[in-house]
């Protein structure tokens, strides 16, 4: 199965990336192309909805960690939601579950719970955590 990546824009500086399929060396370029566009934008919040992701390799982890580092440097957030158990396990092994939510919930409610204080400050122009 190939990788499908779809990006939607929420609020002014928020993007949601929906990833479906298998993320590995042969497919990571599709994700990287979309993430590069986001990095070039003024986005300070990126939600990765991984509900459709069946498999992730170290190449996929590297892309997500790179995005997380860029967002942190601009006082932004990267949030992973809707991880399947096998994908969540990979993040556990990589010791990166602090920003990965396993719960199945709509992206909007996951964001509201996780970053409500940040969103309130961002709407006033202050994105520091």
In-domain check, residue 128: no
Task: Supply the range of the domain harboring residue 100.
Answer: 3-123
In-domain check, residue 129: no
CA angle 3–109–126, rounded 5-degree value: 95
8 Å CB contact between 128 and 44: no
Query: CATH no. for residue 40?
Result: 3.30.750.24
> What is the pTM assigned to this prediction?
0.77
Q: How many domains does the chain have?
A: 1
In-domain check, residue 57: yes
Q: List residues bridging with 45 in a β-sheet.
A: 14, 77
Q: What pLDDT digit, counting tens, does each position of 75-93 carry?
A: 998 988 888 999 989 988 8
The mean-pLDDT minimum among 30-39, 41-50, 57-66, 104-113 falls in 104-113
In-domain check, residue 112: yes
Q: What pLDDT digit, counting tens, does each position of 89-113 carry?
A: 998 888 766 655 444 555 554 454 4
In-domain check, residue 32: yes
């Amino acid at each position: 199965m190939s990788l499908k990546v779809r990006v939607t824009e929420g609020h002014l500086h928020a993007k949601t990336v929906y990833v479906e399929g298998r993320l590995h060396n042969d497919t990571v370029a599709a994700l990287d192309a979309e993430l590069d566009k986001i990095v070039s934008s003024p986005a300070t919040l990126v939600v990765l909805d991984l509900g459709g992701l069946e498999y992730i390799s170290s190449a996929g982890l590297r892309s997500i960690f790179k995005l997380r580092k860029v967002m942190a440097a601009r006082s932004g957030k990267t949030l992973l939601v809707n991880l399947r158990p096998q994908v969540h396990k990979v993040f556990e092994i990589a010791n990166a579950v602090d920003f990965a939510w396993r719960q199945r919930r709509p992206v909007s409610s996951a964001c509201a719970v996780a970053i409500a204080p940040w969103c309130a400050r961002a709407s006033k122009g202050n994105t520091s955590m």
